[in-house]
A and B are shown apart, each in its own frame.
Chain A
Amino acid sequence: MIESGSSSGGWEATGSGSPVSTAQTTGRYVVVFEDGAEPQETLTAAAGLSSMADSRDFDSQAMDMAQTEGSEATVFAELGIAVVAIDPERLGAMQTSQAARGAIVDVAPELIHHVLTEPADYLRGYRDGVNDLAGRLGGDEDEAAGDSAAQAGPSASFADNDEFTWGLQATRVSTSSRSGDGVKVAVLDTGLDATHPDFVGRDITAASFIPGASPHDGHGHGTHCIGTACGPKAPSGSRRYGVAYECDIFTGKVLSDEGSGSDAGILAGINWAVANDCAVISMSLGADIARPHPPYSTAGRRALARGSLIIAAAGNNANRPGDKGFVGAPANSPDILAVGALDSRLRVARFSARSLPGRGGQVDVAGPGVDVYSSWPMPTRYHTISGTSMATPHVAGLAALWSKATGRRGLELWATLAKESRRLPRPSVDVGSGLSLAGW
Chain B
Amino acid sequence: MARVSVSCSVDDEHLPSIGAVAEALRERGLDVAQVLDGVGVITGEVADDRRGALQEVPGVLSVDADLPVQLPPPDSPVQ
Contacts and interface: CB of A to CB of B under 8 A. Distances in A.
Contacts of A270: 36, 38-39
Contact size range, B: 20 to 34
Interface string A42-81: 0000000000000000000000000000000000000000
B68 A267 contact: no
B71 A264 contact: no
A295 B42 CA distance: 9
A267 B74 contact: no
Contact of B79 (A260, A306, A389): A389
A189 to B, nearest CB: 9
A219 B76 CA distance: 11
Nearest to A225: B79
Contact of B36 (A267, A293, A297, A387): A267
Q: Which of B64, B66, B69, B73 has the most CB of A within 10 A?
A: B69
B9 A295 contact: yes
Given A294-B9, A294-B61, A389-B79, A219 B71 contact: yes
B52 interface: no
Q: Which of B70, B74, B76 has the most CB of A within 10 A?
A: B74
B69 A221 contact: no
A329 B67 CA distance: 9
B39 A271 contact: yes
Contacts of B62: 294-295, 298
Given A295-B7, A386-B77, A259 B71 contact: yes
B5 A221 contact: no
A264 B34 contact: yes
A255 B69 CA distance: 8
A286 interface: yes
A351 interface: yes
Contacts of B5: 262-264
A366 B76 CA distance: 22
Contacts of B72: 259
Contact of B41 (A287, A289, A295): A295
B37 to A, nearest CB: 8
Contact of B77 (A297, A329, A385): A385
Nearest to B12: A302
Contact of B69 (A219, A268, A275, A285): A285
B33 to A, nearest CB: 6
A306 B37 CA distance: 13
Contacts of B79: 221, 224, 284, 316, 385-387, 389-390
A260 B9 contact: no
A224 B71 CA distance: 13
Q: Which of A224, A261, A272, A329 has the most CB of B within 10 A?
A: A261
B43 A261 contact: no
Interface in A268-292: 268, 270-272, 274-275, 284-287, 289
B40 interface: yes
B39 A303 contact: yes
A208 B19 CA distance: 24
A284 B79 CA distance: 9
A142 to B, nearest CB: 21
B78 interface: yes
A303 B37 CA distance: 11
Contacts of B61: 294, 298
A220 interface: yes
Contacts of B67: 262-263, 287, 289, 293, 329
Interface string B34-67: 1011111101000000000000000001101011
Closest A-B pairs by Cβ, 10 of them: A259-B71, A295-B7, A299-B39, A271-B36, A294-B62, A298-B9, A271-B38, A263-B66, A387-B79, A262-B66
Interface of A: 190, 219-221, 224, 255, 259-264, 266-268, 270-272, 274-275, 284-287, 289, 293-295, 297-299, 302-303, 306, 316, 329, 351, 385-387, 389-390
Interface of B: 5, 7, 9-10, 33-34, 36-41, 43, 61-62, 64, 66-74, 76-79
21 contacts: A219-B74, A221-B79, A259-B70, A262-B66, A264-B43, A267-B7, A268-B36, A270-B38, A274-B39, A275-B38, A285-B69, A285-B71, A293-B64, A294-B9, A295-B41, A295-B62, A297-B9, A302-B39, A303-B38, A385-B77, A385-B79
Given A286-B69, A287-B69, A298-B9, 16 more contacts: A221-B79, A261-B68, A262-B5, A263-B43, A263-B67, A264-B7, A264-B33, A266-B69, A270-B39, A271-B36, A271-B41, A284-B79, A289-B67, A294-B62, A299-B36, A303-B38
